[in-house]
Amino acid sequence: MAGRLFDEADALLAQGRAAEALALTAPLAAAADADLGVLSVHAAVLKALKRPEEALAFDERATAAFPASAIAWHNRAATLGDLGRGADALAAIQEAMRLGLDGAPTWTVYARALTATGDFELAETAYRESLLRAPADGLIACELADLVWMRRGDAGRAQAVLDTAFHGGAAPSPLLLHRAKLLEAAGDPTQAARLLAMAVERLPDDLPLILAAAQAAVETGQVAAAEGFLAMAQARAPERADVVNQAVIVELAAGRPDAALATARGGLARDPDNTSLWAWAASAARAAGDPLYEALCDYRQMVGVYEIETPPGWASLPAYLADLAAALRRLHPFAEAPIRQSLRQGSQTLQPLLTSTAPEIRAFFKAIEAPIRAHMARLGEGSDPLRRRNTGRYSLDGAWSVSLRPGGFHEDHFHPLGWLSSAFYVETPTAALDTPERQGWIRFGQPPLALSPPLPPAHYVRPQPGRLVLFPSYLWHGTEPFTTNEPRLTMAFDVVPA
């Protein structure tokens, strides 16, 4: 009976039905004599449910019960890596390798642990060892390309990694999408759009490529080409949420805001919590003069500005922020940000800050509890897409830090997986903030499209150290570039209803 339930749970997990799998694995894993397979699958289920700390307890139990199992040590290392415990992950994966594991997955976990502990040269070597064992694994190639880009800012060397994987037999679509994002990060969106257009010619049934080509065409002002790509996507999956979303974007770029809004409303009727559609619906409503815009983008009510209290253990807020800045700067070793992020001329942390053991970072998450609860209370309840999800309870879904250098900025974007998003200012470029251009300020409401008439920023907030800004995740937000030789260090996180 246990074997049958285990097999069923494993199948459910493979289908993405982790909650159902948990109901089967929990009683099996609770048994004192649970075998390695049960403990491993139960830990994997917990990780799929975003409960890595609970998963680690079962991975640790597995290594205690089966200390000679290389697989148990590999699993423990992978979970420790997910939790940002790089040194512990490194020790665990080295034990797995000592016990005989030598496959691509193990070398990849080893590479990630080396990256987390700052040994980037050896991490690159480990990634290449992984690719020698699995030359067609595009995910490993993309991770290595990211590392090469972040270390050196050299798009050519990063592209060479992707090219090698392609010639090794990796599926072309993910590599092409990653290469296009790399070109954008390197400041060449025109070349990215050209690459995607050529890719669609050769892979005309690849929907992700078609949608990416449509978006790249919009962003480079090639509206007619974007409409052609959109027609291809609609012929294949007209009601898919990402196709509907792309239709709104193309219609808006083509100067048809009423049609864009109607399309967005149709998509939202089927998918009412689609943050991307709400973001584009707000822009379409603004361009069309529809009252929906005011309902979605009541900036003065929905954008909250709070000053955190000095955490216990620090004499003053400046003293705390200085220690927090020092802790964060240790997590910013790279020259460039990960490829798929909104920032330009700066870096973003890779470590999962929510599980950090650094006292300064742990204190931050305590300090923001009161402002988050105050903002939820300020919003109240309602029928709009923001307030109807306000349960009065919340959890954090991801947290990171960004360091911008002079000339740096965030492109206008929104957070499709969040409910509330944030910006917390640790260090700010004081001289820049007082310029007429509002250099370094956070702005709201401007979509990243050249529209006629244009939709400029509709709301600004001036940063200052210790200030937390909370806002709906569907709001467009970006940063005015700053040119002064000053630091700009921030933290950010997304909030989701619990």
Q: What are the tens digits of pLDDT across the range 471-494?
A: 999 999 999 999 999 889 999 999
Tens-digit pLDDT profile for residues 102-160:
999 999 999 999 999 999 999 999 999 999 999 999 999 999 999 999 999 999 999 99
List the domain range (segments joined by +) for residue 354.
Answer: 300-497
pLDDT at 388: 95
Max Cα–Cα distance, the chain, nearest Å: 72
Q: Does a structural domain hold residue 29?
A: no
As a whole-number percent, the residues of the chain with pLDDT over 90 amount to 88
pLDDT at 2: 56
Q: Does a structural domain hold residue 389?
A: yes
Q: Does a structural domain hold residue 217?
A: no
Give the tokens for residue 381: 């309840």
> Once rounded to an integer, what is the mean pLDDT over residues 182-204?
96
> Once rounded to an integer, what is the mean pLDDT over residues 235-252?
97
3-class SS at 340? coil
Whether residue 452 is predicted with pLDDT greater than 80 in this model: the reply is no
Whether residue 345 is predicted with pLDDT greater than 90 in this model: the reply is no
Model confidence at 378, in pLDDT bands (50, 70, 90)?
very high
> Once rounded to an integer, what is the mean pLDDT over residues 404-423?
92
8 Å CB contact between 345 and 407: yes
Q: Does a structural domain hold residue 291?
A: no
3-class SS at 396? strand
pLDDT at 443: 97
pLDDT at 3: 65
Whether residue 331 is predicted with pLDDT greater than 80 in this model: the reply is yes
Model confidence at 1, in pLDDT bands (50, 70, 90)?
very low
Q: Which of 252, 242, 302 is nearest to 281 (CA)?
A: 252
Model confidence at 318, in pLDDT bands (50, 70, 90)?
very high
DSSP state of 473: T
Mean pLDDT for the chain overall: 95
- The partner residues of 443 in beta bridges, in order of sequence, read 460, 478
Based on C-alpha coordinates, what's the Rg of the chain?
24
Q: Return d(Cα 12, Cα 244) in angstroms, integer.
A: 30
Q: Return d(Cα 120, Cα 138) in angstroms, integer.
A: 20
Counts for the chain of helices (H) and strands (E), in that order: 23, 9
Whether residue 11 is predicted with pLDDT greater than 90 in this model: the reply is no
Q: Does a structural domain hold residue 438?
A: yes
Q: Does a structural domain hold residue 168?
A: no
Q: Return d(Cα 180, Cα 194) in angstroms, integer.
A: 9
Whether residue 169 is predicted with pLDDT greater than 80 in this model: the reply is yes
Whether residue 82 is predicted with pLDDT greater than 50 in this model: the reply is yes
Whether residue 5 is predicted with pLDDT greater than 80 in this model: the reply is no
- Looking at per-residue pLDDT, the higher value among 238 and 336 belongs to 238
Q: Return d(Cα 411, Cα 477) in angstroms, integer.
A: 8
Which CATH number is 365's domain given? 2.60.120.620
> Once rounded to an integer, what is the mean pLDDT over residues 299-307?
97
Model confidence at 247, in pLDDT bands (50, 70, 90)?
very high
Q: Starting from the edge strand earliest in sequence, which strands make up the sheet with 343-348, in order?
A: 304-307, 467-472, 420-427, 488-497, 394-410, 343-348
> Once rounded to an integer, what is the mean pLDDT over residues 229-249?
97
> Once rounded to an integer, what is the mean pLDDT over residues 419-444?
95
- The partner residues of 469 in beta bridges, in order of sequence, read 305, 423
Q: How many domains does the chain have?
A: 1
> Once rounded to an integer, what is the mean pLDDT over residues 201-222?
97
8 Å CB contact between 89 and 115: no
Q: What is the pTM of this model?
A: 0.91
Q: Does a structural domain hold residue 46?
A: no
pLDDT at 164: 96
Q: Which of 196, 362, 384, 208 is nearest to 292 (CA)?
A: 384
> Once rounded to an integer, what is the mean pLDDT over residues 419-433?
96
Q: Does a structural domain hold residue 406?
A: yes
8 Å CB contact between 376 and 394: yes
Whether residue 450 is predicted with pLDDT greater than 90 in this model: the reply is no
**Distances 230 to 132, 147, 177 between C-alpha atoms, Å:** 38, 33, 17
